[in-house]
Amino acid sequence: MADKSATLTIDGNEYQLPITDGTLGQSVIDVAALQEAGYWSYDPGFKVTAPVESKITFINGGKGELLHRGYPIDQLANNAEYLEVAYALINGELPNSEQKEDFFKKIRQHSAVHDQLRKFFEGFRRDAHPMAIMVGVVGALSAFYHEGLDISNENDRELTAIRLIAKMPTLAAMSYKYSQGEPFMYPRKDFSYAENFLYMMFATPGDTDYKVNPIIADAMDKIFTLHADHEQNASTSTVRLAGSTGANPYACIAAGIAALWGPSHGGANEAVLEMLDEIGSVENVPEFMEKVKSREVKLMGFGHRVYKNFDPRAQVLKKASDEVLEALGIDDPKLELAMALEKIALEDPFFIERNLYPNVDFYSGIILKAIGIPTSMFTVIFSLARTSGWISHWLEMHSTPFKIGRPRQLYTGETKRDFVQLEDRK
Ligand code: CMC
């Protein structure tokens, strides 16, 4: 029960709005009394609206802090595997060795997809964007797992989470293989989660002794961990909103993938590379910066709605990107250009005054490019990683009472009630 409240006076009437404190971070004002007052709250972009209570992830944007189930993100990224982080997101704690073995085994068991799903891929043009394919094929999973799936049953919900996390790398790699006209690779049970994804992406059926470079597998796993969850962002909110209707969970995740695709959200890592293509070379950076300042374009991979000092995920990835570039001895002019851009932007008053720093997508774009992942797959990889976060939020919602998400609006359209009766127009 809240022991603080705010007083709202409207039309001479006073309303007490209870204030509730979380364990950390911002307190919230419960505005339900507005209904009684005959008003709605108005907050485009949900800048100050908390539609849910959650125990999964905490972000302090000012301090650049990100915690999953209370664990700091840098510690998770440097000391735990992505699948352990996924387990923690779902279950609240990192697994002990027995739980880890059991969870990893279940993920391996469910990593293959139904053979009939191949036909869905064949329905797409070869040049279809892999995110378009992902929206389709993940949504199609709901056709495979609908009858018999009881979302009020905890075991069914858990199985859904396992299936999704297990199948996403397989589907993601299939979407790439399809665009290349190469045969799909079946998942292998002797590889780690990240190795398996890289194997399904880059191996071909003749590669019987295919080995994954451990530096690349480690960087890939870090990218997965750093994208695993980010509290109530646009795609997670989409999954929750779709889930609040009781919709099939695979369809809800497909909705999350659709929301993630946009360049203001997960599509930014791809947009970073497109921007580097547009700039071309280091000499063109000053001219491009002028366009940014005159608001003709945005510097993709910079800025964040929540982080206004630094993005803690970007810090881990910057170190990883330095290691990958050095270990692989990559000498790519585009990566050199990215570094020049980062340096100039970090020193320029326009960016300093607006607290614009490189975000996770800036460095993940650089690493993915360095390890040979095609640009069009960047957001697909984000969606693969974010699936553990999305499904954790869906699970959290379904394990407590919830209401259908149904926002209100401020109507500013016309009123033609007295203009003409429709039947008079005949
Ligand atoms: N380049 C140039 N100016 C920018 C940028 C940018 N990337 N981002 C913000 N600004 C300016 C903006 O024009 C505004 O300036 P002014 O006050 O003079 O009008 C000021 O900074 C505040 O920006 P805002 O639009 O109020 O910030 P927001 O919180 O609404 O937007 C954002 C956040 C991430 C959508 C935005 O920074 C952006 O579009 N960045 C580029 C896209 C990107 O990298 N997105 C990935 C986000 S990280 C992945 C994820 O978590 O989804």
CA distance 216 to 320: 10
Strands (E), 21-175: 28-29, 57-60, 65-68, 71-72
Identify the DSSP state of 418.
T
**β partners of residue 4:** 19
Helix (H) or strand (E) holding 15, with range, is: strand 13-20
Average pLDDT for residues 341-361, to the nearest whole number? 88
Known catalytic residue: 190?
Answer: no
Instruction: Tell me the mean pLDDT in the region 325-343.
Output: 83
Give the Cα separation of 379 and 262 in Å (integer): 9
68, β-bridge pairs: 57, 71
* pLDDT tier at 422, thresholds 50, 70, 90: low
**Region of residue 246 (phi > 0: left; psi between -120 and 50: alpha; otherwise: beta):** left
Ligand 1, atom 15, residue with closest C-alpha: 354
Res 246 pLDDT > 80: yes
**Distance from Cα 51 to the centre of ligand 1, integer Å:** 23
Q: How high is the pLDDT of residue 339? A: 83
Show the DSSP H helices in 329-359 as ranges: 333-347, 349-353
Residues 6+ apart with CB under 8 A from 380: 130, 131, 134, 172, 175, 176
Separation between Cα atoms, residue 225 and residue 396, nearest integer Å: 20
Which stretches within 9-153 are classed as H helix?
33-37, 73-79, 82-91, 97-109, 117-122, 130-144
Q: DSSP code of 18?
A: E
- The residue type at 50: A
What is the C-alpha to C-alpha distance for residues 293 and 306, in angstroms, rounded to an integer? 21
Distance in angstroms between the alpha carbons of the first and the last residue of the chain: 60
| CA atoms of 268 and 273, how far apart (whole Å) | 9
The rounded percent of the chain whose pLDDT value lies above 70 is 98
Decide if pLDDT at 1 tops 60. no
Q: Is the CB of 356 under 6 A from ligand 1?
A: yes
User: Which tokens is 220 given?
Assistant: 């890939």
Band of residue 75 on the pLDDT scale cut at 50, 70, 90: very high
Average pLDDT, stretch 324-343?
83
Q: In the predicted model, is pLDDT for residue 52 greater than 90?
A: yes
DSSP state of 288: H
Measured CA to CA in angstroms, residue 380 lies from 51, 84, 134, 199, 266 at distances of 27, 21, 7, 16, 9
222 C-beta closer than 6 A to ligand 1:
no
Question: Does 316 sit in the ligand 1 pocket, CB within 6 Å?
Answer: no
Residue type, 253: I
- Give the position of tokens 């394919």: 133
Alpha-carbon span 350 to 299, nearest angstrom: 11
Phi, psi of 15 (to 5 degrees): -125, 140
- 371 close to ligand 1 (CB < 6 Angstrom): no
Residue 133 CA to residue 173 CA, distance in Å, equals: 11
Return the number of other C-beta atoms located less than 10 Å from residue 99's C-beta.
Answer: 14
> Which among 413, 383, 405 is positioned nearest to 49, based on CA atoms?
405
Structure tokens at 323: 């290691």
Question: Which residue in 227, 230, 265, 304 is the catalytic one?
Answer: 304
Give Cβ neighbours of residue 259 (< 8 Å, ≥ 6 apart). Answer: 234, 235, 237, 238, 265
pLDDT per residue over 145-201, tens digit each? 887 899 999 999 999 999 999 999 999 999 999 999 999 999 999 999 999 999 999
Q: Does residue 268 line the site of ligand 1, with CB under 6 A?
A: yes
Q: Work out the angle between the directed axes of helices 378-398 and 249-260 (0-180°, nearest 10).
A: 140
For the cut 90, the answer to whether the pLDDT of residue 128 exceeds it is yes
Residue identifier of the C-alpha nearest atom 30 of ligand 1: 305
For tokens 């293959």, the residue is: 112
Strand (E) or helix (H) holding 9: strand 4-10
Let me know if 218 is a catalytic residue: no
Q: Assign 208 a pLDDT band (cuts: 50, 70, 90).
A: confident
The pLDDT value recorded for residue 191 is 96
Reference 324, options 217, 202, 226; nearest CA is: 217
Give the strands of the sheet with 65-68, arranged side by side: 57-60, 65-68, 71-72
* Residue 301 near ligand 1, beta carbon < 6 Å: yes
387-to-204, 252, 400 alpha-carbon distances in Å? 26, 11, 20
Helix H or strand E encompassing 14:
strand 13-20
Written as six digits, the tokens of 80 are 């735990």
Instruction: Say how far apart CA 66 and CA 79 lie, in whole Å.
Output: 15
Atom 13 in ligand 1: which residue has the minimum CA distance?
295
Which of residues 359 and 124 earns the better pLDDT score?
124
| pLDDT(101) > 60 | yes
Integer-rounded Cα Rg, in Å, for the chain is: 23
Q: Is the separation of the CB atoms in 373 and 381 below 8 Å?
A: yes
Substitution candidate for ligand 1 out of 229, 351, 356 with most atoms within 8 A of CB? 356
Residue of minimum CA distance from atom 21 in ligand 1: 354
**Atom of ligand 1 minimally distant from the CA of 305:** 29
The per-residue pLDDT for 313 is 92
Residue 392: pLDDT band with limits 50, 70, 90: very high
Mean pLDDT of 363-375: 89
